[in-house]
């Protein structure tokens, strides 16, 4: 082949990282595309290591490993890829991301409750002018009458109420801490964990379909092309076999310029020194 053919063959033999490899099936390319998205979102969800519990962040770590198997060691032309480890890791990451998102939501709800009703009994008792009620809190009698104009804490026995000023102090401190953490890390982590779980579940399904398909074909799979070329003044035609694979030899069969009597009876074979090239004289009719 000429220079352009060699360049074309070399470009066809280069591996494709993402989802545009013509040698791979539709499902294999889709799995690699999803792997890129899972890798990106998995890295983002690693920020969840700053927020307890760390289930979602662990899911991000597992997702990074599973998606890396698809991207770096994934299906290639002429090689059957074992999707089993990637399917297992991405399945585990799906569960961890879902559980992590639920845990983060529950954690935020608990923080919100503490902001609304106060913190521990020790912190509550440290505030000034708290009133101990004789019986359980009731707006119509007993403690309710004593705590007129005050707010109380839902804290087990419901027998103590404190001034509104103390409640506001507790709200300001707890809300500043809870809102700051939630605004910077929590809500983005929940959103990215849910998106990651969707991508991972879709990738598991696609990988299961790709696993049932035959192995990808070789990128250079076209048969050799035979071209007839006129040779010399004998009017005979030789055949040139052009191989598409660079590693295969290129064979030219041409008659000798002036065959001898021995060559007429039996063709002569002349081996050239150039690699992968052989010249052989055909039989004369």
Domain assignment present for residue 7? The answer is no
Note whether residue 273 is domain-resident: yes
What is the structure's pLDDT at 129? 53
Question: Are 201 and 154 members of one domain?
Answer: no
Q: Are residues 155 and 250 in the same domain?
A: no
Q: Is residue 6 in some structural domain?
A: no
Neighbours of 221 (CB within 10 A): 11
Distance CA 107, CA 91 (A): 24
The answer to whether the CB of 163 falls within 8 A of the CB of 129 is yes
**Same domain? 179 vs 153:** no
DSSP, res 50:
G
Q: Are residues 176 and 96 in the same domain?
A: yes
* N-to-C CA span, the chain: 30
Same domain as 177, residue 96: yes
Answer whether 130's CB lies under 8 Å from 140's CB: no
Is residue 63 domain-resident? yes
For residues 195 and 140, membership in a common domain is answered with: no
pLDDT per residue as tens, the chain (285 positions): 444 555 554 444 454 456 777 888 889 989 999 999 999 999 999 988 877 788 999 999 999 999 999 988 888 877 788 999 999 999 999 999 999 999 988 887 776 665 554 444 444 444 445 556 655 545 555 555 555 554 554 444 555 665 544 444 444 455 555 556 666 778 888 999 999 999 999 999 999 999 888 876 655 445 555 455 555 444 444 444 444 444 444 444 445 455 554 444 454 444 444 444 444 555 554
Q: 110 and 76 in one domain?
A: yes
CA distance 107 to 79: 47
pTM for the full model? 0.54
* Per-residue confidence (pLDDT) for residue 248, from 0 to 100: 47
**Residue-range definition of the domain harbouring residue 155:** 129-162
Give CA–CA dist 236/233, Å, rounded: 8
105 part of a folded domain: yes
* 141 and 54 housed in the same domain: no
CB atoms within 10 A of CB 78: 12
pLDDT of amino acid 175: 55
Domain count, the chain: 3
95 token code pair: 């569960």
Residue 206 lies in a domain: yes
Report yes or no on 220 lying in a domain: no
């Amino acid at each position: 082949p000429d220079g352009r053919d060699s360049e074309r063959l070399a470009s066809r033999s280069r591996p494709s990282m993402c989802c545009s490899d013509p040698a791979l099936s539709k499902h294999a390319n889709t799995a690699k595309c999803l792997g890129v998205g899972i890798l990106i979102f998995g890295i983002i969800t690693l920020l969840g290591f700053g927020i307890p519990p760390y289930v979602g962040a662990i899911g991000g770590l597992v997702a990074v490993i599973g998606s890396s198997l698809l991207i770096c060691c994934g299906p290639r032309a002429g090689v059957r890829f074992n999707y089993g480890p990637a399917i297992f890791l991405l399945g585990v990451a799906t569960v961890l991301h879902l559980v992590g998102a639920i845990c983060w939501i529950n954690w935020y709800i608990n923080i919100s409750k503490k902001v609304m009703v106060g913190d521990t009994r020790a912190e509550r008792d440290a505030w000034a002018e708290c009133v101990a009620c004789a019986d359980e809190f009731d707006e119509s009698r007993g403690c309710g009458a004593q705590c007129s104009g005050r707010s109380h804490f839902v804290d087990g026995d419901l027998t103590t109420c404190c001034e509104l000023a103390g409640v506001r102090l507790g709200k300001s401190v707890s809300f500043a801490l809870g809102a700051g953490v939630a605004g910077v890390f929590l809500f983005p982590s929940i959103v990215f964990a849910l998106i990651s779980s969707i991508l991972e579940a879709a990738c598991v399904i696609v990988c299961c379909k790709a696993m049932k398909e035959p192995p990808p074909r070789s990128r250079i799979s076209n048969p050799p092309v035979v071209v007839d070329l006129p040779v010399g003044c004998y009017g005979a035609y030789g055949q040139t076999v052009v191989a598409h694979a660079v590693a295969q030899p290129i064979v030219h069969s041409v008659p000798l310029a002036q065959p001898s009597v021995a060559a007429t009876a039996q063709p002569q074979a002349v081996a050239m020194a150039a690699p992968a090239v052989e010249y052989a004289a055909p039989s004369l009719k």
